[in-house]
Amino acid sequence: MRAILSYAIALIIIVVVGAWLLSGTLVAGGKGPGNGEQPAINLLSGGEDSDGLAASGIAPEEGDDSAAQDNAEKDHAAADGGENAGEEHEGGIDPTLTIAERNAQNGGEEAEARSVRTETFTIRPLALDVNLRGRTKASAEVTVTSETSGIVETVHVEKGQSVAVGDPICTLDKGTRQAAVDQAEAGLAQAQLEYETTKSLIDKDLAPVNSAKAVEAALRSAEAALKNAKAELDRTEILAEVSGIVQAPLADKGSMLSPGSPCATIVELDPMLFVGSIPEARIGLAHSGLDATVTTVTGDTVEGKVSYVASTADNATRSFAFEIELPNPDGKLKDGLTAEAEVNLGTIPAHLLPQSVLTLDDDGVLGVRAVKDNVVEFYPITIARDTREGVWVTGLPASVDIITIGQEFVKAGQSVDATNVAAAPAADETSSQG
């Protein structure tokens, strides 16, 4: 019960003191309103009647005046808009400044130049390759057809057989074609005899001169008839006009062929073609004759050259069709295989840099910091290719001394003490010899 009473009294005291502080005034010494009334804050900040409160711990002691004064000065500096903010930071350092800006502010031009390490990079040719997917395709698929009518007497090939130009494919029944040739030969002999007899009579003035034209025309007609008869006989032998592999359809022995009927289909595999499409972003560098390496899904790799580049883009993909001609003398490459081609579009001048030298400027632009005449310069770059050896970039001078160590502690226009890693060993060796 006593504990509850004590808590209640303490609570009442706290409420009374709080109300007094909120009132903002205090009457000291019983002088009455207007004579002893003053703001309570004066007592807490060391006013006239604060001695009595100092002992109680409510008002600050005299030793604490400096701390209060310091706080007031800081508040006043903040109200001035931060004009003297740089002096208020601990150690005189503004945390909003970069390291390079702090060095420039503290030391200016008279400060000792920061030491950095550089390395010289020179321009090199970068092979510009593009990887494309496509498939293999036979350079030609020729249907061997009959040029005359006849019954197939003999089929000289089978499916999958390799043939060369001029190899027989089918033979048709000759029928009366041989007899037609014999008849044409006899007619030619008769016309030749008449022509020679008439010419002899004309020479002896025993025949008119005009008669020579008639017998000469007959002779030419007999020669043409023999030529046609032999050509018709030759058409019974159907020969391969391209080299390749025999495919279906293949005529059967005893079947009747008419002019234009297929005897066999030959797929020309040498040379083989790789067909694909190149994106429009690279079409400006693509042309016939470019070197290419094609790797099929079966693991075969063949070197070839671009033989065709389309002049119009596909409406759906906005890419351009192209073909690569591949040598295939042994027929190892098959038609229709999925493959990937690496086409060399030429070379461009570039620099091979380690990734560690890349940095960003204050605007977030990717580039490198270099040194020229002991002054830092920033060069924006464009990454052309990322490899295991480093990053190929463009946009740099032909020869440039790039900062490899310390680039994050300097900025463009700052003077530095640069040491070139390639020149340093040579200088040390010279000094040791001296």
Amino acid 83: pLDDT:
45
Amino acid 275: pLDDT:
93
d(CA 376, CA 371): 5
**Which carries the bigger pLDDT value, residue 425 or residue 199?**
199
Q: Is the pLDDT of residue 367 over 90?
A: yes
The tens digit of pLDDT for each residue in 51-63 reads 544 444 444 444 4
Residue % of the chain over a pLDDT of 70: 75
Q: Is the pLDDT of residue 393 over 60?
A: yes
Q: Give residue 220's Cα distance to chain centre.
A: 69
Mention the CATH class of domain 112-124+349-433: mainly beta
CB contact at 8 A, 359 and 407: yes
Amino acid 42: pLDDT:
54
Amino acid 340: pLDDT:
93
Band (40; pLDDT cuts 50, 70, 90): low
Task: Identify which of 389, 388, 398 has the alpha carbon closest to the alpha carbon of residue 351.
Answer: 398
Q: Is the pLDDT of residue 343 over 60?
A: yes
**Which carries the bigger pLDDT value, residue 27 or residue 391?**
391
CB contact at 8 A, 350 and 360: no
Amino acid 24: pLDDT:
57
Q: Give residue 351's Cα distance to chain centre.
A: 17
Q: Is the pLDDT of residue 117 over 70?
A: yes
Q: At what angle do helices 177-203 and 211-234 cross, to 10 degrees?
A: 160
The tens digit of pLDDT for each residue in 130-146 reads 888 999 999 888 889 89
Band (97; pLDDT cuts 50, 70, 90): low
Question: What integer best gives the mean pLDDT of the chain?
Answer: 79
List alpha helices for 82-145, DSSP H.
85-88, 99-107
Mention the CATH class of domain 174-235: mainly alpha
Residue with tokens 């003297």, as numbered in its chain: 84
Task: Identify which of 393, 391, 416, 396 has the alpha carbon closest to the alpha carbon of residue 406.
Answer: 416
Band (344; pLDDT cuts 50, 70, 90): confident
Residue with tokens 């461009």, as numbered in its chain: 348
Q: Domain extents for the chain?
A: 2-60, 112-124+349-433, 174-235
Band (219; pLDDT cuts 50, 70, 90): confident
Band (356; pLDDT cuts 50, 70, 90): very high
Mean pLDDT of all residues in 368-373: 93
394 phi-psi bin (left φ>0, alpha ψ -120 to 50, beta other): beta
Helix (H, G, I), strand (E, B) or coil at 265: strand
- Dihedral sign from CA coordinates of 191, 193, 197, 203: positive
Band (306; pLDDT cuts 50, 70, 90): very high
Residue 296, Cβ density class (10 Å: 0-12 exposed, 13-18 middle, ≥19 buried): buried
Band (78; pLDDT cuts 50, 70, 90): very low
Output the pTM of the full model: 0.51
